[in-house]
Amino acid sequence: MTTPKPNITVRVDVANPGQFFACCGLLELAHRIKSETMGWFEDNEFRIANGSEGGTPCLTDILARLCQNKVGQVGSVREKALRPVRLEKFSLTLDWWTDAAGKKAALKMWAGQQTSSGIVEELRKAICGWDDASASQLFNVGKPLTGRFGVDPRAAWNALDTGFSPNEQAMAVTTYPAVELLAAVGLQRCRPVQTDDGAMRYCTWRIPLRAILSPVACAGILPAVHGQSYSFRICRRGSYKGFGPATPYRR
């Protein structure tokens, strides 16, 4: 198989679980614009290309659609904080933070007065105005924000070190909005696998794959495309939780 020439390339730290799932989210959104789109990890980058004739949407197109998207809650989940969020521009509903009964799932990490739609809206506004000039460093642009999903360990604030939690005080903390928002999209299709010791595991892949295959590649059950496996733990910081940094996983 000849590797196609990518037209989206983003620098990625695959040991940061937030950045890994943000790559999955970027592929998901590109796929929803053009279904033949494929993505893969190579040389500390995530690359996206089209699998057939006709170009893949550029990063500016994807970010523009996110910025134009009206964020709203849907469904009948009792807790407003947990209600699914609809991204109409991509015909996509996000609800990975709840289980089949509408209760909070293990990956739901925010607390306090924050709501799913409020977090998405704050992150959406934070990425508006970005262009291809900053594309390769998309995951390294930080802004002081009060809301996040908790998927990027860099935005973590350890309450044991500070004596209080900025989240609970509604204080702005340096957050990486593209990582948080795109990872929220990626987690809808791709989930980490829980290991026997309670950690979470995910796996990169090294050949171009369409979004529909990303969940099994992420779970590490496609040997032919297997890249590097990583594991991380969900850490508690006050009443909030967050993804911790990942390390290479070996059975």
3-state SS, the chain, equals CCCCCCCEEEECCCCCHHHHHHHHHHHHHHHHHCCCEEEEEECCEEEEEECCCCCCCCHHHHHHHHHHCCEEECCCCCCHHHCCEEEHHHCEEECCCECCCCCECCCCCCCCCCCHHHHHHHHHHHHCCCCHHHHHHHHHCCEEECCCCCCCHHHCCCHHHHCCCCCCCCCCEEECHHHHHHHHHHHHHCCCEECCCCCEEEEEECCCEEHHHHHHHHCCCCHHHEEEEEEECEEEECCEEEECCCEECCC
Q: Sorting pLDDT into bands at 50, 70 and 90, what band is 163?
A: very low
* Predicted pLDDT of residue 128: 85
Kindly report whether the global pTM for this prediction surpasses the value 0.75.
Answer: yes
> pLDDT, tens digit, for every residue of 196-231?
899 999 999 999 999 999 999 999 998 878 889 999
Q: How confident is the model at residue 79 (pLDDT cuts 50, 70, 90)?
A: confident
Look up residue 24 and give its two tokens. 């999955």
Of the ranges 22-26, 69-73, 74-78, 125-129, the best mean pLDDT one? 22-26
Domain segments of the chain as ranges? 8-248
Rounded Cα distance, 72 and 108, in Å: 18
Q: Comparing C-alpha atoms, which of 58, 29, 36, 23 is closest to residue 205?
A: 23
Where does the pLDDT of residue 132 fall: very low under 50, low under 70, confident under 90, or very high at 90 and above? low
Confidence at residue 55, expressed as pLDDT on a 0 to 100 scale: 65
Q: Which of 65-79, 123-137, 151-165, 198-212 has the lowest mean pLDDT?
A: 151-165
